[in-house]
């Protein structure tokens, strides 16, 4: 019973570990010369092929997949997955990878604002849990930003030069702003995808089939995108090498498994609960980077990680107290009606 209560938390921590692995595999593969748009196509193809057998044979849905619902799933895949992934790669042409990684920590705030606009979240300013949610989100994003941008002295006795994120990639101020706006748009698309999963799952509760359909549509859409951008047939060649391993991992584990887990948790906890875990991947990425890339952690990064955890705890505590208050009010309402 206790384990069942914490299943959503464990699921999201596992998802963030998968995302940290994705950062390692994707960076290595694309640095090795693989086209990022083609990488997305293969990633979505692997996800579709790995999920399809489970969706067909292990999950049954009594809901009819109407044409209208199919169109909704198609456009949700287009805006939330295809555009989000490809815009993210476009932005990397103008901004540094570090800045791009840090900017994903705006997702909890964007998702929270969108959820408020759609009436999926509420804030009680006069209640402690409402204040905890607001302050926790601010501290969480602030801690993630400090982790990414504030170095400070290294923990280990090694000399590191301070890097200017704009000049390090040789872009102008205009291109930097352009890349930042594109990355912000990519994060907004992902936040919108999180928001739209709830209403769509109410119409089509078969989570595995829904995830498979979205991966399939995203694969087709990304293929059209990649063909229009990269028409060199040789770039599509995928041999038995590290690129194949990277694509398989990102497709099966990240796109397939994590998207299904996210859909499952959204159905239980809502989209904001998913988004607030986004900064946690920074901690796992830093841990794996220190092992595989020999990166030295700095005091600023450690302090940022501590603030991140405090902020995350504040939001989760606020949501837990809010849920208890709603249960209490509903219970009192039922007693009153009796």
pLDDT interval class at 168 (50, 70, 90):
very low
Q: Where are the alpha helices (DSSP H) in the chain?
A: 2-5, 7-31, 36-57, 67-77, 83-91, 97-103, 107-117, 128-149, 173-203, 207-229, 242-248, 259-269, 271-275, 280-292, 299-337
pLDDT interval class at 213 (50, 70, 90):
very high
Query: What does the pLDDT average to over 40-67?
Result: 85
pLDDT interval class at 61 (50, 70, 90):
low
Comparison of pLDDT for 1 and 306, the residue scoring more: 306
The alpha-carbon radius of gyration of the chain (Å, integer) is 21
Residue 222 is predicted with a pLDDT of 94
- Enumerate the domain spans of the chain: 32-95+171-277, 122-163+279-338
pLDDT interval class at 167 (50, 70, 90):
very low
pLDDT over 50 (residue 307): yes
Average pLDDT, the chain: 78
pLDDT over 60 (residue 162): no
With CA atoms as reference, report the closest residue to 107 among 9, 26, 181, 189: 189
Hey, is 215 helix, strand or coil? Answer: helix
User: Is there a contact between 117 and 299 (Cβ–Cβ < 8 Å)?
Assistant: no
Count of H-run helices and E-run strands, the chain: 15, 0
Residue 164 is predicted with a pLDDT of 44
String of DSSP letters for 168-196: GGT--HHHHHHHHHHHHHHHHHHHHHHHH
pLDDT interval class at 329 (50, 70, 90):
low
pLDDT over 90 (residue 309): no
pLDDT digits (tens, 9 = 90+) for 130-146: 888 788 878 877 876 77
pLDDT digits (tens, 9 = 90+) for 238-274: 878 888 998 999 888 887 888 888 888 888 888 778 8
How much of the chain exceeds pLDDT 70, in percent? 76
Distance of CA 259 to the CA centre of its chain: 9
Comparison of pLDDT for 204 and 302, the residue scoring more: 204
pLDDT digits (tens, 9 = 90+) for 273-295: 887 777 677 677 666 666 665 65
With CA atoms as reference, report the closest residue to 307 among 147, 191, 119: 147
Comparison of pLDDT for 134 and 99, the residue scoring more: 134
Residue 159 is predicted with a pLDDT of 44
**First-to-last CA distance in the chain?**
30
pLDDT interval class at 323 (50, 70, 90):
confident
Residue 336 is predicted with a pLDDT of 52
User: Is there a contact between 282 and 103 (Cβ–Cβ < 8 Å)?
Assistant: no
String of DSSP letters for 43-112: HHHHHHHHHHHHHHHT----S---HHHHHHHHHHHIIIIIHHHHHHHHHTTTS-HHHHHHHGGGHHHHHH
Residue 242 is predicted with a pLDDT of 86
- What count of other Cβ atoms lies within 10 Å of the Cβ of residue 72? 16
Query: What does the pLDDT average to over 315-338?
Result: 66
Comparison of pLDDT for 259 and 190, the residue scoring more: 190
């Amino acid at each position: 019973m206790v384990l069942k209560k914490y299943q959503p938390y464990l699921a999201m921590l596992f998802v963030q570990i998968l995302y940290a692995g994705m950062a390692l595999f994707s960076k290595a593969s694309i640095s090795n010369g693989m086209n990022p748009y083609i990488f997305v196509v293969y990633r979505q193809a692997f996800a579709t092929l790995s999920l399809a057998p489970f969706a067909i044979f292990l999950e049954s849905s009594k809901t009819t997949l109407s044409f209208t619902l199919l169109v909704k799933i198609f456009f949700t895949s287009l805006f939330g997955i295809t555009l989000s992934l490809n815009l993210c790669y476009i932005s990397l042409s103008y901004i540094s990878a570090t800045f791009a990684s840090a900017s994903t920590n705006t997702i909890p705030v964007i998702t929270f604002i969108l959820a408020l606009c759609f009436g999926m979240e509420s804030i009680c300013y006069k209640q402690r849990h409402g204040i905890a949610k607001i302050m926790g989100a601010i501290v969480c994003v602030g801690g993630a930003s400090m982790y990414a941008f504030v170095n400070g002295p290294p923990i280990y006795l090694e000399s590191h030069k301070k890097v200017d994120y704009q000049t390090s990639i040789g872009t102008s101020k205009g291109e930097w702003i352009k890349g930042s706006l594109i990355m912000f748009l990519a994060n907004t698309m992902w936040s919108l995808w999180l928001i739209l999963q709830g209403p769509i799952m109410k119409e089509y509760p078969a989570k595995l089939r829904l995830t498979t359909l979205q991966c399939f549509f995203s694969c087709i859409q990304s293929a059209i995108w990649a063909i229009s951008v990269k028409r060199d047939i040789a770039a599509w060649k995928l041999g038995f090498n590290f690129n194949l391993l990277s694509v398989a991992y990102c497709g099966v584990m990240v796109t397939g498994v994590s998207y299904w887990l996210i859909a499952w948790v959204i159905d239980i906890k809502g989209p904001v609960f998913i988004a607030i875990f986004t900064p946690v991947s920074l901690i796992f990425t830093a841990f794996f980077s220190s092992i595989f890339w020999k990166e030295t952690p700095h005091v600023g990064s450690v302090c940022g990680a501590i603030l991140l955890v405090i902020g995350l705890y504040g939001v989760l505590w606020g949501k837990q107290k809010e849920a208890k208050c709603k249960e209490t009010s509903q219970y009192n309402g039922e007693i009153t009606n009796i």
